[in-house]
């Protein structure tokens, strides 16, 4: 038995609208949004008396999704400090490919994104930076982007872009 695909990553948030706007500005497409009314979900996640709204966003090519969840009941729990450092245990980032890192960072700043450090060139392959998204999440949820080969640097969320010119072979 093998894995067929990675279907989605769940991010629990406090402000669903703000986080949807953030990812739509990045270029993701809102696939659907609404209350999750399936009682089987309670059995899957191991919580009782759940009331939540969810949104599913997809990468334009359709091969990756992010699910957002806003818990009304029970309330979301903060599992780590806000602005947790890169060496905090757990999921630290999600990477996406972008065409123009400078444009993406500028547009996302209007949605509450902040550079963690600075935009840096990785060899002559692509440019990379870490960005934190809007303060609308229940934890330091991962946000990132890569253009060109995915980077594997340690640390918090990353936005990566590649230098101008032809794309490297896939």
Per residue in 62-113, pLDDT tens? 888 999 999 998 888 877 777 777 777 777 777 777 888 899 889 988 888 8
Instruction: Find where tokens 């009941």 sit.
Output: 73
Residues 40 and 151 sit within 8 Å (Cβ to Cβ): no
Comparing 76-90, 100-114, 115-129, 147-161, the range with the smallest average pLDDT is: 147-161
Length reported for the chain = 170
What pTM was computed for the model?
Answer: 0.72
Helix ranges restricted to H, the chain: 16-26, 40-45, 101-109
Measured distance CA(104)–CA(98) in Å, rounded: 7
pLDDT at 135: 60
Q: Report in angstroms the alpha-carbon separations of 138 from 40, 81, 104.
A: 23, 10, 24
Q: Decide if pLDDT at 155 tops 60.
A: no
Residues 12 and 69 sit within 8 Å (Cβ to Cβ): yes
């Amino acid at each position: 038995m093998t894995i067929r695909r990675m279907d989605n990553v769940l991010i629990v948030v406090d402000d669903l609208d703000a986080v949807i706007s953030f990812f739509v500005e990045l270029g993701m497409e809102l696939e659907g949004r609404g209350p999750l009314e399936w009682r089987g979900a309670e059995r899957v996640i191991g919580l009782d008396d759940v009331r939540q709204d969810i949104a599913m966003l997809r990468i334009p090519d359709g091969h990756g999704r992010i699910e957002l969840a806003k818990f009304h009941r029970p309330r979301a729990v903060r599992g780590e400090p806000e602005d947790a450092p890169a060496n905090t245990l757990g999921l630290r980032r999600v990477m996406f490919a972008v065409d123009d890192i400078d444009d993406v960072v500028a547009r996302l700043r209007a949605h509450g994104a902040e550079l963690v450090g600075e935009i840096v060139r990785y060899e002559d392959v692509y440019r990379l930076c870490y960005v934190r998204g809007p303060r609308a999440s229940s934890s330091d949820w991962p946000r990132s982007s890569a253009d060109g080969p995915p980077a594997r640097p340690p640390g918090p969320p990353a936005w990566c872009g590649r230098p101008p010119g032809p794309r490297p072979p896939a």
